[in-house]
Structure 1
Amino acid sequence: MLQTASSTSLGEQLKAGQHQIDVLLLQQSHLMAAFVESDEWEEDGSATPYDWIRINCHLTSNAVYDRATVGEKASELVESVQAMEATSSACTTGMQSIPTAMPETNSRSTRSGTFR
């Protein structure tokens, strides 16, 4: 069974974990925007920077365009980006107590071939 720290509920762990993912995606968005502006993708023989990212980062076209656009528009959303980055350290402090093991479950939906 999943062991949780008594002071951190599963819901709080989920929110903190999702925030960390969001911060990483924001960082990826900045990198993608810079990559699109570079010529590195041409040197590698790709038709477009978006194709290079899609193929090499194993993403769908929609995910690539969404993330690259966020990176390109981040300079127009300075306050939002700063607010997200400012809360990053506060949220990650509680992440140290989050276990990495998956919870055991007897749910039928987790067993192979029993989805309805």
Structure 2
Amino acid sequence: MKEVKISSHRYAKKSCSLDIAGEEQKHHRCHVNIIKNGVESMPHGRTITIQSTENNGKTFIKITDSGVEMTGEPHHERPQNGLGTMAVHSIVKFMRGEMKVESAIGKGTSFTLFIPAVENDHSAKNENGPP
């Protein structure tokens, strides 16, 4: 059995929750698909890092794995990278968001989701920090 470490970082001036526009189940499906694909791309285990912040009315969620890079060809190197990634892209687009994918040999893959934030009185804006 491989060991996978999940590390989470929230970049904000104070502790707060992220309030994102859209359906909770759709967000959950996006995160599960990205994390599952990342875990499957790391045959010997390693690390998945989740970073999040809010800035200028958008929530940024970056999920990075240290596994095999994506090739752009479904089912080539990363298990199920085609269908899972397409589902995530469709959901993010439906929620009026954007998705950016970066992948490099030996470094793994990062998915950054840009989703409109819901304004409320306890959200913190952060001009600094990733993603």
Relative contact order, higher structure (CA 8 A, sep 6+): 1
TM-score by length of 2: 0.28
Q: Which has the larger radius of gyration?
A: 1
**Greater share of residues in strand:** 2
**Greater share of residues in helix:** 1
